Amino acid sequence: MTISNSIENYLHAIPDASVFTRNDIAHHLGVDENRVSRALQRLAKKGEVHYISHGLWQRPKLTRFGPVSASPEKVVAAIERNRDVFIVPCGAKILNEIGASTQVPMKYRFLSTRPIRAIKLGKINIEFEYSTAFASACIGLTSLPEAERRMVAGLWGAFVYAGRKDAERQATAFRRAFGTLSLCGQEHLLSRFSGRLSWAQTLLKGPAEKTHES
């Protein structure tokens, strides 16, 4: 079997609506990236794969209604795999997930530890918001399990997004989410609330706090 056939077989075997880069394939098969690029170009002409942007490709899911693009979350996961960056949903989505808001965000916005240009995925715009404050808040999170790491970063973003008045109105939801963290996760989050965000630390350590049960 030729290298070109191996590449095409790999692409045919991955799930529909997957997002990948040529580096993903080159690393998995142990082949040269230029050969991967040529195979992708051939498959793109057949309509079997589509180029997104930022070096990202997708294998759309084919249905009787037409091709269905990958989800924004899969795009984000592919970016994280191939760059030294940490990304979580923006504050509005986290507020909804922890029950602090009934609003479902209509835009796909994410917080990132590095600047990333917006991506257009079909009719969907995926936006990334970078700040040094968020990048600093994420330092030291690697010692936590992945799900908890994302929750800590997400809660930080949710406090920033909500602001003091709205966060105080939804204090129960914030404290409940805080209570699901390990002691390590709680300590890390509290340590990131200083200066203009010191009020968030006070809110979480208030009398209604539900602490983590070991």
Residue 146 is assigned to a structural domain of this protein: yes
Q: Give the closest residue to 189 by CA, choosing from 201, 174, 203.
A: 201
Tokens of 27: 């690393």
**3-state SS record for 116-145:** CCCEEECCEEEEEEECHHHHHHCCCHHHCC
Q: Are residues 92 and 185 in the same domain?
A: yes
Give the CA radius of gyration of the chain.
Answer: 21
pLDDT at 207: 61
Domain extent, residue 186, equals 84-204
Answer yes or no: is pLDDT of 209 > 80: no
Q: Are residues 64 and 88 in the same domain?
A: no
2-51 pLDDT, tens per residue? Answer: 777 888 888 888 888 899 999 999 999 998 888 899 889 988 998 889 99
The model carries a pTM of 0.86
Answer yes or no: is pLDDT of 210 > 50: no
Residue 212 is assigned to a structural domain of this protein: no
Across the range 44-62, mean pLDDT stands at: 89
> What is the CB neighbour count within 10 angstroms for residue 77?
15
Q: Are residues 98 and 169 in the same domain?
A: yes
Q: Are residues 24 and 64 in the same domain?
A: yes
Q: Are residues 183 and 132 in the same domain?
A: yes
Rounded CA-CA distance 150/88 in Å is 6
pLDDT band at residue 110, thresholds of 50, 70 and 90?
very high
Total domains in the chain come to 2
Answer yes or no: is pLDDT of 162 > 90: yes
CATH of residue 35: 1.10.10.10
136-159 pLDDT, tens per residue? Answer: 999 999 999 999 999 999 999 999
Query: To the nearest 10°, the Cα dihedral for 52, 61, 36, 77?
Result: 60
pLDDT at 135: 97
Q: Give the closest residue to 191 by CA, choosing from 149, 137, 135.
A: 137
Residue 74 is assigned to a structural domain of this protein: no
Q: Are residues 195 and 142 in the same domain?
A: yes
Contact 102, 129 (CB under 8 A): no
Rounded CA-CA distance 202/190 in Å is 9
Residue 213 is assigned to a structural domain of this protein: no
Annotate 30-89 with DSSP letters as a single string: T--HHHHHHHHHHHHHHTSSEEEETTEEEEPEEETTEEEPPPHHHHHHHHHHHSS--EEE
Rounded CA-CA distance 141/150 in Å is 9
Residue 156 is assigned to a structural domain of this protein: yes
Q: Which helix (H) or strand (E) holds 166?
A: helix 146-169
Answer yes or no: is pLDDT of 104 > 50: yes
Residue 100 is assigned to a structural domain of this protein: yes
pLDDT band at residue 202, thresholds of 50, 70 and 90?
very high
